[in-house]
Homo-oligomer: A and B are copies of this chain.
Amino acid sequence: MVYVILVYDIAVERLNAVRHVMKQYLNWVQNSAFEGEITEGKLEELRLRVYDIIDKDSDSIVVYKISNPSWINKSIWGIEKGEVSPIV
């Protein structure tokens, strides 16, 4: 298992389709971010499903993998928008 922070910048016409897939694998954090614990296999599955939807020449997704979630210190400035997260 790895912990993933995923940030995306995707054209509005593909946004709902991409989010629909991502929320099957990760927790919604806010408008442009998901996070969560996932296996490498599931992450690869997610990548392939996302690649079927996005335009790889204009959409962008940045995936930060951290092996151990205890290495991440998460804090919120302003309001918490996301789902309850396993790291707090």
Known interface pairs A7-B30, A9-B31, A33-B32; A75-B79 also in contact (CB < 8 Å): no
Chain B residues, Cβ within 8 Å of A55: 78
Number of chain copies forming the complex: 2
Known interface pairs A5-B5, A7-B7, A72-B65; A30-B60 also in contact (CB < 8 Å): yes
| 17 A–B pairs (Cβ distance < 8 Å), ordered by A | A5-B7, A7-B29, A7-B33, A9-B81, A32-B32, A56-B77, A56-B79, A60-B76, A60-B78, A61-B77, A62-B76, A63-B75, A63-B76, A64-B72, A66-B71, A66-B72, A66-B73
9 A-B pairs besides A55-B78, A64-B73, A67-B71 with CB distance below 8 A are A7-B30, A51-B77, A56-B78, A59-B79, A61-B76, A61-B77, A65-B72, A66-B73, A67-B73
